[in-house]
Chains A and B, each alone.
Chain A
Amino acid sequence: MKNMLKRVSLTLAASAFAASTAMAGDLVITYDDLNPAPKKAFEAAVEAFKKANPDVNVSVNITDREAHKNTIRNALQNDAPDVIAWYPGNRMGPFVDAGLFEDISGLWSSDPNLSANFNAIKPTMTRDGKQWGVPYSYYQWGVYYRKDIYDKLGLSEPKTWDELLANCDKLKEAGVTPFTIGTKFLWTAAGVFDYLNLRTNGYDVHNDLTAGKIKYTDPRIKKTFDNWKVMLDRCSFVKNHATMSWQDAIAPFAKGDAAMYVMGNFSVSGYKDAGLKDEQIDFFQFPEITPGMPRAEEAPADALFIPANAKNKDEAKKFLSFIATPEIQGEWNKTIGQLPPNAKASVNTDDKFIVEGMATVSTAAGLAQFFDRDAPAAMAKAGMEGFQKFMLEPGALDDILANLDKVQAEVYK
């Protein structure tokens, strides 16, 4: 009898304890980058949050980025975490449309920091007039080049299309392939296409194309491809790019066989790992093509979202507004060498690429996410295959564009 009483009271105590921890709040976060620097930055942010909110019981899952792309579907529909990492733009579209992400417009309007300091990036977090997530980082794209080769040939950073083409001519004369690229995984070609399209036709055409409002056979898009053809002829790319990943493509760049690389800022650590020194590499904005066209840039953001099935939405919102603060955003992006979306956050002024990136992005007329984030995944896949095919067989352009129109008609139905 005594034993029984003891057991009952123990159970009661245990359940009371369970209830009390549930009241204080749990928070389950799924993050998607296992690379050392991003992991460290994320964990530091979580630690800071724990310190500021000791009553919240935080648990963290970190998964591989590529694997996350497949597992997120399950995660959102079954055992949803409270906060999950994903991409804004059209990539969040299917989940928003299926009602699997929580609408956090309320947080965006009530949190003074979120409503004041994120104006540049807010459109990419918006769908159907509502906000669905909070960005923690983004990075600029542009042309990374070998400064030592440029200096040796007496070249300067091109501001216009003609200057770029003239530089290419000189590089080729000197036996240097102007551009390196690795298109095995397709998306790198989309970076080149996006820039040519942004510079030829501007930000609105980019958005209309990726939103399915413009056909690929449209004369404006054809003009982009005409420019690309000129680039292929005069600013040739390394041979064999179809068998190389973006990391493989660093090899000819590091060796000095190629002089330029249209890439995102995350690639800088790759150049340094390949043995290049800070003074050997530099960055310039993709040059102007159509004179007077407002300069829009590629600046893909990474963000955190709250699944609609989350169990602790209040804690999740608390966490999102915490990671939006200037201090956290500054620390986080210093660690990973990227740009903080919060305009008030400090940046690492010792890193010349971050300084140039900030200058590039903050003065841009518009920020594009990237072809494969702005366009729906099915369209992006077909489109990027088309870009790769065009780079290998420029003559097949008409077939490629006609086929993309077919896919577009189906995907945006």
Chain B
Amino acid sequence: MASSYTVSQTGADSRYLTSTSQVGISAVALLISLAALLFVIDTGQVQELFGLSRQVEARVPTFFIRVAFLIVGLAAAFFLVTGLSVYKRNRVSFAPWLFLAVGVAFFLIYVIVPIFQSLSYSFTRWDGLYDVNGVWTGEWVGFNNYRLLLDDPNFYTSLWNNVLWLVLFMLAVPVGLGIALFLNQTVTGIRIYKSLFFFPFVISQVVVGLIFSWAYNPEFGLLSEIWGWFFCETKVNIVGNLTKVCSVDPPSILGDKDLATYGIIAAGLWPQIAYCMILYLTGLNNVASDQIEAGRLDGAKGWKMLWHVILPQLRPATFIAVVVTVIGALRSFDMIATMTQGGPFGSTNVLAYYMYDQAVGEGVGRYGYGSAIATVLFFIMLIYISYFLWRMYQDEKEGH
């Protein structure tokens, strides 16, 4: 009796003891992988150690070796920590952090660190190159890039286009609501109509951009065909080919600096409206019918019913629709890249595209200047994101 008690006692204690073998093995594994990561692979010491020439080094995909050692190292660290008695005693408060660790690490490496990197690049003149010895070739210029930005007409064009995108893209919300209300009825085959309206959202943005730039094309596009019915006639030209002669030329939407941005926004709205529509359709499913009946009894109908009874119940859907539309407007990069590449002469640039154009695109290589544009864009987005997070926080508080 007494002996069995002792056994269970030690058993209970040992649960909280550091398991030496686990910690020992994983510590060794961790050390090896750290050494491999930081020292050996990077400086080519392994190669010298084994007398391999640089030829072999080039054939070995060092990147994958590094990733492999990183994974081994992470696993070793995980087992090391879980073997410690400190961890075993505080499992409940430690465990979430342990599982978050990988995500946090990647978020730091791929989001937080680059933000500060590009902030620091924005104070330099740099063409994106390191020399043969891996030495950075840029120079520190203080606020010069920002001073240049203030004096750059293309920057103001881009900024103004960003505003245009944000404002006009919001049209997707009411139009989406309108279509959702229209489609929210029970007719035979309504599912087919709904899917047809949703269809543009399924198509890739690049394809949407291509379709619209063909439609806009003043030579052979859909728009110029329709225009031709009113203003153009077909004549025979000097070498006997048929050609179109117009009394009023069809608008060259993507070639006109005053129209091009609107043309791209219209193309972007097409899938965005579909997205908002589907959000509202699901929202409408959840509208309480008893409240509608109550509203009817009180004599509400038409606009009054919509404004005072339906819309308040759609508030969550509206919130999400606004958020995704703002995000969509800021993601206008794809559409611009496919439709105009920022042209004609930079008049359809938005900040994101202008940044890409100056830093990476076509080898222009003004990385410092591009980073300054990125920083401005970052702070503009920060305002919106802070507001969004604050709203979320307020809602959470109300919820509890």
Interface residues of A (CB under 8 A from B): 18-19, 22, 26, 69-70, 73, 77, 79, 91, 94-95, 97-100, 146, 148-149, 152-153, 174-176, 183-186, 239-244, 248, 251, 255-257, 308-309, 311, 377-378, 381, 385-386, 388-389, 392, 399, 403, 406, 410, 413
Contact A311 B55 (CB under 8 A): yes
A to B CB contacts below 8 Å, 6 in the list? A79-B58, A149-B239, A241-B255, A243-B255, A244-B219, A255-B239
Contact: A392 with B238, CB < 8 Å? no
Q: A70-B360, A240-B219 are in contact. Are A149 and B238 (CB under 8 A)?
A: yes
Chain B positions within 8 Å of A95 at CB level:
129
Establish whether residues A99 and B237, one from each chain, have CB atoms under 8 Å apart when the complex forms: no
9 residue pairs, one from A and one from B, having the closest CB atoms: A242-B255, A256-B239, A389-B345, A243-B255, A385-B345, A242-B344, A98-B129, A240-B252, A240-B218
Given A308-B132, A392-B345: A239 in contact with B252 (beta carbons within 8 A): yes
Cβ-based interface call for B131 (8 A): yes
Measured between C-beta atoms, what is the minimum distance from B222 to chain A in Å?
14
Most interface-central of B54, B132, B341 (chain A CB within 10 A): B132
Known: A243-B254, A256-B237. A378 touches B219 (CB 8 A): no
Q: When the two chains form the complex, which single residue of B134, B151, B238, B344 contacts A175, counting CB atoms closer than 8 Å?
A: B238
In the complex, are the beta carbons of A98 and B131 less than 8 A apart?
yes
Question: Inside 8 A of B131's CB, which chain A residues have their CB?
Answer: 98-100
Is B127's beta carbon under 8 Å from chain A?
yes
Encoded as 1 (CB less than 8 Å from any A CB) or 0, chain B from 322 to 346 comes to 0000000000000000001101111
Within 8 A of A (CB), among B87-131: 125, 127-131
The DSSP consensus for interface residues of chain A is helix
Shortest C-beta distance, B72 to chain A (Å), equals 24
A-side contacts of B152, CB under 8 Å: 406
Considering the chains assembled together, what is the distance between the CA atoms of A248 and B217 in angstroms? 11
Q: In whole Å, how far is B270's beta carbon from the nearest beta carbon of chain A?
A: 20
Residue of B nearest to A18 (CB): B56
Q: Contact check, B243 vs A377: say whether CB atoms are below 8 A apart.
A: no
Add 6 more A-B contacts to A94-B129, A176-B238, A243-B254 (CB < 8 A): A98-B130, A98-B137, A239-B249, A377-B365, A406-B151, A410-B148
Chain B neighbourhood of A70, CB < 8 A = 360, 363
User: Which residues of A are found within 8 Å of B243, using beta-carbon distances?
Assistant: 255-257
How far apart are the CA atoms of A147 and B378 in the complex, in Å? 56
B interface, CB within 8 angstroms of A:
53-56, 58, 125, 127-132, 134, 137, 148, 151-153, 213, 216-219, 237-241, 243, 249, 252, 254-257, 340-341, 343-346, 357-358, 360, 362-366
User: Would A26 and B345 count as touching, CB distance under 8 A?
Assistant: no
Instruction: Tell which of B252, B341, B357, B358 has the most Cβ of chain A within 10 Å.
Output: B252
Given A26-B55, A256-B239, also A378-B132 (CB < 8 A): no
Given the contacts A95-B129, A243-B254, A256-B241, A185 and B344 also touching, CB distance less than 8 Å: no
> Contact at A242–B343, with CB atoms within 8 Å?
yes
Closest to A312 in B: B55
Chain A nearest Cβ from B173, distance in angstroms: 31
Distance to closest chain A CB from B332 (angstroms): 19
CA distance A406 to B144 in the complex (A): 13
Give the distance in Å from the alpha carbon of A146 to the alpha carbon of B241 in the complex: 14
CB B84 to nearest CB in A, in angstroms, measures: 39
**Contact call B238/A256, Cβ cutoff below 8 A:** yes
A388 vs B340: C-alpha distance when bound (angstroms): 13
Measured CB to CB, the closest approach of chain B to A188, in angstroms, equals 12
Residue from A91, A388, A410 within 8 A of B344 (CB atoms): A388
Q: Complex Cα distance A100/B133, Å?
A: 9
* Residues of chain B within 8 A of A77, CB atoms compared: 129-130, 134
B364 and A381 within 8 A (CB): yes
B189 to chain A, nearest CB (A): 40
Q: Name the B residues within 8 Å of A99 (CB-CB).
A: 131-132
Interface centre among B127, B128, B130, B238 (most CB of A within 10 A): B238
Chain A residues within an 8 Å CB radius of B357 = 381
Given contacts A174-B238, A378-B364, contact A186 B218 (CB under 8 A): no
Contacts of B255 in A (CB 8 A): 184, 240-243, 392
In the complex, A240 Cα to B217 Cα: how many Å? 9
Task: Check B132 against A389 for contact (C-beta < 8 Å).
Answer: no
B341 touches A185 (CB 8 A): yes
Q: Are B344 and A311 in contact (CB under 8 A)?
A: no
How distant is A278 from chain B, measured CB to nearest CB, in Å? 16
Q: How far is the CA of A377 from the CA of B366 in the complex (A)?
A: 9
When A100-B129, A381-B364, A406-B151 are in contact, do A242 and B252 touch as well, CB less than 8 Å?
yes
Closest residue on chain A to residue B219 by CB atoms: A240
Taking a contact as CB atoms under 8 Å apart, the answer to whether A255 and B341 are in contact is no
Known: A99-B131, A100-B132. A377 touches B218 (CB 8 A): no
Decide if B362 touches A377 in the complex (CB within 8 Å).
yes
Q: How far is the CB of A202 from chain B (nearest CB, A)?
A: 27
CA gap between A87 and B304 in the complex, in Å:
68
B343 touches A186 (CB 8 A): yes
The answer to whether A389 touches B344, judged by C-beta atoms less than 8 angstroms apart, is yes
Q: How far is the CA of A256 from the CA of B345 in the complex (A)?
A: 28
Contact A239 B345 (CB under 8 A): no
CA distance A174 to B236 in the complex (A): 12
Cβ contacts under 8 Å, B219 to chain A: 240, 244, 248, 251
Residues of B within 8 A of A152 (CB): 238-239
Instruction: Enumerate chain B residues within 8 angstroms of A386, measured Cβ to Cβ.
Output: 345
User: Would you give the shortest CB distance from A56 to chain B, in whole angstroms?
Assistant: 13
